[in-house]
């Protein structure tokens, strides 16, 4: 029983449920590659891709919690996280990061040489995000870049080559994630200013940050449309694209400069639904 509790603590540390943001786009990249290569589905390869997503995200979030442990202890919103509460020791969290990073590289080794050779670069990006808010206001875009590795990485796992369409989906992820991360950062404007931490809400203020978030989401929607035309998708794709767009619009209806009480609904629920639904319709369009 104690062992299960310890595992649960680590899953809570890395917010395992937030994998729902990157995983659906990884599946888009994977099944797009399978369709374009006209190959039979390899469940071994699919499992390796899923493991890479899992291990890379564990390493990234674990390092984020480790790097921010002193900040989280000061911030009233984050004082109940596992490291500030001493449920997980900093050294244990760092060991968790190292193990997951090694497992990520190991899984990529069994995929193909290109994925393995790029795995240190991927780790540098996803781990490096955690340090960006100390020196740049563009940390939201770095987070987007980290999650944007999912569709192109999954595509490379199948094809071992770069192509434009998965890169477009990676661009979608960059602007989609940056847009909703700006919304999430609205909660910490006062604290970030007091600690000299950088974010676009700190730089621009709530109203202008919300406008920029909406612009980023508009760019994401335009790129989704461009991908649809470029990839010659049909009805199911466009239904998924419409639902994705409506859910992003709803985020900006419920989060206002003078009322951010529903920011967590916008951040977690709306974006989780948007990514899963869009991926289902895209994959359905590819194979039905």
Which CA distances in Å does 89 have to 13, 77, 82, 265? 11, 20, 8, 30
Confidence at residue 205, expressed as pLDDT on a 0 to 100 scale? 96
Please tell me the total count of domains within the chain: 1
258 vs 207: CA distance, rounded Å = 9
CATH number of the domain residue 139 falls in: 1.10.357.140
Q: What is the mean pLDDT of each run of 10 residues along the chain (288 residues)?
A: 69 84 95 90 96 96 96 95 95 97 98 98 97 96 97 97 97 97 95 96 96 98 98 97 97 91 86 95 96
Q: Are 214 and 179 in contact (CB under 8 A)?
A: yes
Confidence at residue 265, expressed as pLDDT on a 0 to 100 scale? 81
Which CA distances in Å does 95 have to 22, 54, 168, 221, 263? 24, 16, 35, 39, 32
Q: Are 142 and 178 in contact (CB under 8 A)?
A: no
Write out the residue range of the structural domain in which residue 185 sits: 2-287
Q: Are 180 and 213 in contact (CB under 8 A)?
A: yes
Residue 134 in tokens? 């100390």
Q: Are 224 and 218 in contact (CB under 8 A)?
A: no
243 vs 247: CA distance, rounded Å = 6
């Amino acid at each position: 029983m104690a062992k299960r509790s310890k595992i649960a603590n680590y899953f809570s540390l890395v917010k395992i449920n937030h994998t729902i943001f990157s995983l659906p786009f990884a599946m888009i990249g994977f099944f797009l590659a399978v369709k374009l290569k006209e190959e039979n589905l390899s469940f071994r390869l699919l499992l390796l891709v899923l493991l890479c997503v899992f291990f890379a995200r564990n390493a990234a979030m674990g390092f984020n919690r480790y790097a921010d442990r002193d900040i989280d202890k000061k911030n009233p919103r984050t004082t109940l996280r596992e490291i500030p509460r001493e449920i997980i020791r900093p050294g244990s969290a760092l060991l968790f990061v190292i193990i997951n990073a090694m497992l990520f590289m190991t899984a990529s080794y069994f995929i193909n040489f290109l994925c393995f050779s790029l795995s240190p670069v991927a780790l540098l990006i996803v781990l490096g995000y955690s340090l960006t808010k100390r020196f740049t206001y563009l940390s939201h875009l770095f987070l987007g870049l980290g999650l944007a590795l999912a569709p192109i990485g999954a595509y490379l796992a199948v094809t071992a080559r770069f192509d434009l369409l998965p890169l477009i989906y990676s661009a979608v992820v960059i602007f989609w994630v940056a847009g909703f991360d700006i919304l999430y950062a609205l909660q910490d404007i006062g604290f970030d200013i007091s600690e000299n931490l950088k974010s676009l809400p700190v730089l621009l203020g709530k109203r202008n940050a919300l406008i920029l978030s909406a612009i980023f989401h508009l760019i994401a929607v335009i790129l989704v449309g461009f991908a649809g035309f470029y990839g010659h998708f049909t009805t199911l794709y466009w239904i998924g694209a419409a639902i994705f767009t409506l859910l992003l619009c709803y985020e900006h209806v419920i989060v206002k400069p003078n009322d951010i009480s529903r920011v967590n609904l916008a951040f977690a629920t709306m974006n989780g639904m948007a990514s899963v639904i869009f991926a289902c319709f895209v994959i359905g369009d590819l194979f039905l």
